[in-house]
Structure 1
Amino acid sequence: MQDHSPSLLANGPDQSAAPSLIELLRAQISSSSELSFLMEAHDGLSAAIAERAGFNGLWASGLSIACSLGYRDANEASWSHLVEVVERIVDSSQLPVLVDGDGGFGNFNNARLLARKLLQRGAAGVALEDNCFPKINSFVGDRHPLADIDEFSGRLRAVKDTVADDLVLVARIEALIAGFEMDEALLCAHVYADAGADAILIHSRRSTADEMLSFARAWQNRLPLVIVPTKYYRTPISVYREARISTVIWANHSMRAAIAAMRQVCRRIIAEENTASVEPNIPSLDEVFELLKYDELPRAEALYLRPRR
């Protein structure tokens, strides 16, 4: 299996005594006493920006990666597309990456193949959701057929048997998205925990956190609980801490911010037919070069391109 620690070119030598990225992600997700945050990344640039902003972990968002490739979040992008992008995200930062693996792109065999390839590319964890293949984004429409609970448990077991503890495995429950009652979501959580999940992600499309908080109270922290407050974003963070939520994922915000910024710049340039009013409001090329560590290249040239004496 190839070693895919963070890029030496971009980030310098690895420190062998430091915790592995998998250990870092596991520590973040397993703690119920300290709330952790994962920021969405959809390419190497967004990963580098999130790291520079101060985040300690990344969420390789299926929605955002699909959007960046010009696909819909309906399994139009393949697992190989996902794996290639994850490699660039991993290589562009020194942060642990939890990958949105959708439902595993098929049955148990597809899911374990995906997990093995993500491990090879340096991912620290994968989240699998109990949807049928092909899936549709949780916030699109009202038809969200769920996988059979035993069949999905088989996917989780297959992943766990394939990668053991070398990947953090998060089981994402879509029962509330699909309109089922809380009892069904809790049943899924217990079954998925028994199948080997390291954490549970409970998803809700409500505009308030009530549904998620009800689940958290009933779940009683049997496994760490991960949430994605895309719709209930007005909820104060203190509420999540009081509920002993482990991890909050900001799941698509860099992608959405990029759309807004690019839209604004494109409209202004086409209207004004120059970039004079745009330049003061966008990063300079020097900032781009600094972000991606261009200064490392001449140092490497001095080291490796010296003529032999």
Structure 2
Amino acid sequence: MAGLYSTTFTPRERRQALRDGLNSGTIQRLPGAFSPLVGRAIQDAGFEGVYVSGAVVSADLALPDIGLTTLTEVAGRARQIARSTDLPVLVDADTGFGEPMSAARTVSELEDAGVAGCHLEDQVNPKRCGHLDGKEVVPTELMLRRITAAVNERRDDTFIICARTDAAGVEGIDAAIERAKAYADAGADMIFTEALHTPADFEKFRGAVDVPLLANMTEFGKTELLPADQLQDIGYNAVIYPVTTLRIAMGQVEHALQDIAVTGTQSGWVDRMQHRSRLYELLRYAEYNAFDQQVFTYSAENYQSSFTPYATYASDSTDPTHKNS
């Protein structure tokens, strides 16, 4: 990650990295990021990719995951996250934010955002969370139009178009498999098998579908939480943990706020916080300071009389623990 403001890897290089990973025999693990900083932490922890969940973008905007977010909001957040990491970023594009023509525009916008790929689903528009009851899926031919429009609009052939099917919970797993085969024939590079229940379900899907498969290990849903190694042994190529980081963060936030409301202090939580020095490591604070000193040749004394607050900060700018930082 040589660049301070963005990765130095091109979008095509990161897209190719994801494609290579899907074909490597090693499962690609993509935790969900709800912010650019989380995306950077995912890279620092050694994962193969980053996922941007539609449910998480919705939740971060204090909205339910029922198709209320816009393409602009999702593409904007995806662009911010893709900028912050060298890893390939896969984005939840819901139903394509409209009809097949909208799915085509979605691919164009997400390519411009620098992400590695997206997935489109076969729910009706507006959609709902894939692990809730009462879902509806569109006819297969309409989903094929979505995929075809997306594939035709794609300008970079390394950009991954993944087709998600929610049919297992609506029409049964056999129908979902038939849909997956049709979606692959229409040009989908990968199939996202939503809301399967057991390892046997995953094995059945893998035995019937030839293209790369993505598993969703989301908490509190219909799917048994399987370790990545087990999914790899079954033959799955990628796994997402879409809402995990948000749930962990919000769980801690709520507990801490409740405690502070009662005690009047956050002192009991200090040891459970990310330390400021670790935050500054992720922010690459020292590198920004070094960059600043190379470009701006000033001394604190020259600025002391005219702009005391800035001079005070500049005099200790190399110390990321300075009290004004």
Fold in common (TM above 0.5): yes
Matched-pair contact (CA < 8 Å) for 1:119–1:166:
no
Change (3 A) 1:177 1:257: same
The answer to whether 1:255 aligns with 2:246 is yes
Matched-pair contact (CA < 8 Å) for 2:92–2:120:
yes
Tell me, what secondary structure is at the counterpart of 1:75? Answer: coil
Which structure 2 residue ranges, 5 or more long, are not aligned? 299-325
Aligned to 1:3: none
Aligned-CA RMSD value: 2.0
Match of 1:9 among 4, 21, 34: 4
CA deviations over 1:41-74 (Å, ceiling 9, x no partner): 1211211111111112011111111111111111
Q: Displacement of 1:15 after TM fit? A: 6.2
Q: 2: distance between equivalents of 1:133 and 1:66? A: 16
Q: 2: distance between equivalents of 1:130 and 1:120? A: 24
Q: Give the 4+ runs in structure 1 shifted more than 6 A.
A: none
Higher relative contact order at CA 8 Å, sep ≥6: structure 1 or structure 2?
1
Aligned to 1:85: 77
Aligned to 2:53: 61
Aligned residues: 294
Normalised to the residue count of structure 2, the TM-score between the two structures is 0.85
The answer to whether 1:214 aligns with 2:214 is no
Q: Displacement of 1:306 after TM fit? A: 3.1
Q: 1: distance between equivalents of 2:195 and 2:181? A: 18
**Aligned letter for 2:121?**
E
The answer to whether 1:109 aligns with 2:101 is yes
Aligned to 1:156: 147
What are the equivalent positions in structure 2 for 1:273-288 lying under 5 Å apart? Answer: 273-288=264-279
Matched-pair contact (CA < 8 Å) for 2:12–2:159:
no
**Aligned letter for 1:126?**
C
CA deviations over 1:168-194 (Å, ceiling 9, x no partner): 01111110122x123211211111111
Q: Displacement of 1:100 after TM fit? A: 0.7
Matched-pair contact (CA < 8 Å) for 2:19–2:158:
no
Q: Displacement of 1:22 after TM fit? A: 0.5
Q: 2: distance between equivalents of 1:70 and 1:254? A: 16
Change (3 A) 1:161 1:93: same
Matched-pair contact (CA < 8 Å) for 2:131–2:195:
no
Aligned to 2:318: none
> If you compute each CA radius of gyration, which structure gives the higher value, 1 or 2?
2
**Aligned letter for 2:21?**
Q
Change (3 A) 1:49 1:216: same
Identity fraction in percent: 24
Matched-pair contact (CA < 8 Å) for 2:90–2:116:
yes
Q: 2: distance between equivalents of 1:113 and 1:7? A: 32
**Aligned letter for 1:58?**
V
Aligned to 1:38: 30
Aligned to 2:62: 70
Q: 1: distance between equivalents of 2:246 and 2:153? A: 32
